């Protein structure tokens, strides 16, 4: 706890209202979108390519996190009172980190595979097998678990387990800051640099190429935009403000009250909401990786549009037509 004379920022609006509302939205949209995506992959199991193995794992990581959201919703609605036990608090926070960094890891794998298949098609033809994709996926899970495991050894609860920290208590802020700086560099900065490098080169190649189909170019560029937006709006603010917030705690422990602490707290809470959106937005990647899935989505949209159109009354006179317009 903050035992210094520094003022406490007002947490009620974000933690008791905005976060649970956003989590409810993410849970509903994310569960439907990921469930639909995984079901589509199941129906096309024999057609699974190398990249679709990563998409499958991306969906599983999202589902794992989404299943913990109802407990966090109850936690925030009850005024940040944790009623599910200390052990499950650790599991919930671990699942969040697992989803976050597995998502980043599998998005990076998708980017590298796209890069190799477009920029170096002859060198990689027949060499990137499904077995390689499965092995790489297992390695990603293992590395992220190893990276996330130390977080479980930091104190997450206090007051007889009635709180469930997303980070840790003030007492361990300094060592936790060192931990998350390394976490940010290896788990976020390096993958982001790889993705930007891969798709930057891919963009140059496809824009110069006269042999690549126009629709393929558009699909690749859309995927690039989606990945960059995911990182800029979901992942980047979270890592920036998480580190700044923890640094603010370190200063407070040293008896220094930063003037910017309240502003950083607001941005930190907003970034927590944004990063949770990745589980609902990741299915957008499905549409631009799996052609069958994108076709199914467009077919379903067109069907709903036609169904709605057919239910409208047909104007019998010019006056009726003007009224409809």
Round to the nearest angstrom and report the end-to-end CA distance of the chain: 62
249 neighbors 173 (Cβ within 8 angstroms): yes
pLDDT of residue 270: 87
pLDDT tens-digit map of 19-42: 889 999 999 999 998 888 777 777
Domain boundaries, the chain: 12-294
Secondary-structure breakdown of the chain: helix, strand, coil percentages, each rounded to the nearest 5: 80, 0, 20
CA–CA gap between residue 88 and residue 72 (Å, rounded): 11
Positions of the chain with pLDDT lower than 50, given as ranges: 292-301, 303-305, 307-325
Q: Report the pLDDT value the prediction gives residue 278, as an integer from 0 to 100.
A: 87
According to the model, what pLDDT value does residue 209 have? Answer: 78
pLDDT (0 to 100) of residue 41: 73
12-294 is classed in which CATH architecture?
Answer: Up-down Bundle (1.20)
């Amino acid at each position: 706890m903050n035992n210094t004379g520094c003022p406490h920022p007002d947490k009620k609006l974000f933690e008791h209202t905005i976060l649970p509302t956003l989590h409810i939205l993410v849970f509903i949209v994310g569960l439907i979108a990921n469930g639909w995506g995984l079901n589509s992959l199941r129906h096309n199991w024999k057609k699974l390519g190398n990249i679709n193995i990563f998409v499958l794992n991306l969906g599983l990581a999202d589902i794992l996190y989404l299943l913990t959201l109802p407990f966090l919703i109850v936690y925030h609605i009850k005024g940040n009172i944790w009623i599910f036990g200390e052990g499950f608090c650790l599991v919930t926070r671990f699942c969040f980190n697992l989803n976050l960094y597995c998502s980043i890891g599998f998005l990076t794998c998708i980017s590298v595979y796209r890069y190799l298949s477009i920029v170096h098609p002859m060198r990689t033809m027949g060499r990137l097998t499904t077995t390689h994709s499965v092995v790489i996926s297992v390695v990603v899970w293992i590395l992220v678990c190893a990276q996330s495991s130390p977080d479980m050894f930091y104190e997450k609860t206090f007051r007889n387990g009635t709180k469930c920290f997303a980070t840790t208590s003030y007492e361990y802020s300094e060592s936790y800051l060192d931990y998350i700086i390394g976490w940010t560099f290896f788990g976020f900065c390096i993958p982001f640099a790889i993705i930007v490098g891969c798709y930057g080169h891919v963009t140059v190649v496809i824009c110069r190429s006269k042999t690549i189909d126009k629709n393929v170019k558009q699909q690749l560029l859309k995927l690039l935009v989606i990945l960059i937006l995911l990182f800029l709006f979901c992942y980047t603010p979270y890592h920036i403000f998480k580190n700044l917030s923890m640094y603010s705690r370190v200063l407070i422990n040293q008896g220094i009250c930063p003037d910017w602490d309240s502003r950083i707290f607001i941005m930190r809470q907003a970034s927590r909401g944004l990063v949770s959106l990745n589980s609902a937005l990741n299915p957008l990647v499905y549409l631009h990786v799996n052609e069958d899935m994108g076709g199914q989505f467009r077919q379903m949209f067109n069907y709903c549009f036609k169904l709605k159109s057919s239910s409208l009354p047909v104007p019998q006179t010019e006056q009726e037509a003007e009224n409809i317009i």
